[in-house]
Structure 1
């Protein structure tokens, strides 16, 4: 009994059961690609991660490393240190290579690894999900259909977090509802999505699991919404321009009216001044009669005594000379 416990302990250390978390068995169509997420603990953030091919951990071979890409392109690996998940993608899946390990290099010690197996099928109707990568929109709901052909407990889990096995439940504060309305279809609905809900999940029915990456983003504007928005903007601009134009015209019209009043007053005053000048000119142009008055003595001896002196005047007309 003690020997059996020691063997289990050694296997746990070698496989890194408590250090790396991933799916255990995944269905995939032959010739297609599959992405497998591998969650690791925080102490391994700066360590090298890799995919190891083979059933036996001690004899598996390196397929791809984070510090050494695969030149053939069959294997691709990426490391999201913020989420503490490295993802391995296996292209052109075949029945010849179905056993793999998610692994982390440990300096000065044995590496940690977690085993997973690919179940390669040719019947696409048996695929667990329609799409491995899906997109949801903030504030909305999303439904994932997980197909299955075996018995066992239904689960919807977030990698490295908790699982929902009943309905309703929640993951990171987001409501999750599961049900089995259709035969052999396990349906999951996540309500009121948040941007923080982006990440790797997996659905399971029995021992078959399938990882699903959910990307939660802002909903894009459709052409219909854009057209409606543009029409609304045009109407607002028209209203704004009408109000704006009315306000602009007030000042120029006021100035124009003032100018017209000034011109009118100037015209009246100028007209009156002209009449005065014409009247003065007309008066200056009239004939003026001048008279010369002189005194002459009466030299006639026959003038009777007591007779008064007579004054004669010579009248002459002068035409007024205009200057």
Structure 2
């Protein structure tokens, strides 16, 4: 447990700091738990989780920058707005606040996870960033890992550092080869040079949280999220729906349907009218011409009564009407007939 001091020299402060750190480790006192040392690249970013005790849930948390607790300066607090350089968030349910440091430089080396104590000295835990222009000795480009519950998941931890490989739960136990954490089985292997892989046998909802890839004196925080993809997921019985959001799209849909029906009706009517007109034209072109010949019966064998009767012969020829241009009538085009 650490407190800010105001009346000690820098040298005495360093000595006292080392003593307090040793005492707190021996006594098992961990008001705030975080990483110890992380290897990072210049220009990159890193997210550091800080686990705190239940009594600090409603306290202000902050990131303090500096090698000594007495002279570190506040970088970002939970009651302040995030900046381009620093951001902070507090998960009160899991009792973990996280700080993100962007645009890393050679000066971003010494920080503290801290909690304000009303009416007393603040508490903080130190962590160190080893900033390099080369590939970090223990690297993890993506600190966020997402998996599905009931399925295995593998986490790769690229490294070039010497020392023992470990997989730890933040604030919990560590594994060196295989075992279980929160009733979830883990296996550590190094089949590929420069990478050790941690395989979780079956991801569970309670497996979600912050873990640490550890190689020697370096650590890399990794956050695992377990998603429930079960098809039997029960939905809420009633879901509030904003009907106003559907009025305009629904009205537009109705208008489009009405216009479509009207156009279809007009096209169908036009087609029927055109068909009827074609039938009428065809009927008018069918004209029947009739030739009538009037003759008198002059047979010598006929009786006087029969000879007095006129006989009419008729022939009917159906013909297509031909459109003949009108010709002015004259004597040559007129046929005179006499009917007795």
Q: Give the drift of 1:189.
A: 0.3
- Say if 1:29 and 1:127, in contact at 8 Å, map to a contact too: no
SS of match in other structure, 1:43: helix
Instruction: Find the counterpart in structure 1 of residue 65 from structure 2.
Output: 53
Could you say which structure has the higher helix fraction?
A: 1
Structure 2 Cα separation of the partners of residues 32 and 6 of structure 1: 34
The match for 2:175 among 139, 143, 164 is 164
- Count, aligned residues: 216
The 1:163/1:10 distance shift into structure 2, 3 A limit, reads closer
Whether the 8 Å contact between 2:138 and 2:215 is mirrored in structure 1 is: no
Report the TM-score when normalising by structure 2.
Answer: 0.59
Structure 1 residue 137: deviation in Å? 0.8
Determine whether 1:34 maps to 2:46.
Answer: yes
Please give the alpha-carbon distance, in whole angstroms, between the structure 2 residues aligned to 1:216 and 1:52. Answer: 31
TM-score (norm 1): 0.62
Tell me the equivalent position of 2:154: 143
Shift of 1:166: 2.4
Give the aligned partner of residue 103 of structure 2. 92
SS in 2 for 1:69: coil
Deviation at 1:184, TM superposition (A): 2.5
Note the residue ranges of structure 1 that are not aligned, 5 or more in a row: 222-323
Alpha-carbon distance, 1:12 to partner? 6.0
1:62 paired residue number: 74
Change in 2 beyond 3 A, CA 1:191/1:14 = closer
Q: Distance in 1 between matches of 2:199 and 2:95?
A: 25
Structure-2 separation of matches of 1:63 and 1:14: 25
Q: Is the 8 A contact 2:108 2:131 kept in 1?
A: no
- Following superposition, the deviation at residue 85 of structure 1 comes to 0.4
Q: For residues 176 and 57 of structure 1, what CA distance do their matches in structure 2 show? A: 37
1:41-92 C-alpha deviation (Å, 9 max, x unpaired): 111111111000011110000000111224x321111111111100000111
1:196-255 CA-to-partner distances (Å, cap 9, x unmatched) read 11111111000111000111103499xxxxxxxxxxxxxxxxxxxxxxxxxxxxxxxxxx
Instruction: Provide the secondary structure at the position in 2 that maps to 1:180.
Output: strand
Bigger CA radius of gyration: 1
Answer whether contact 2:169 2:181 (CA < 8 A) is retained.
Answer: yes
Does 2:97 correspond to 1:82?
A: no
The whole-number CA distance in structure 1 between the counterparts of 2:20 and 2:143 is 35
Alignment of 1:192-203 (within 5 A): 192-203=202-213
Superposition deviation, residue 11 in structure 1: 4.6
C-alpha RMSD over aligned residues: 2.6
1:18 has 2:30 as partner: yes
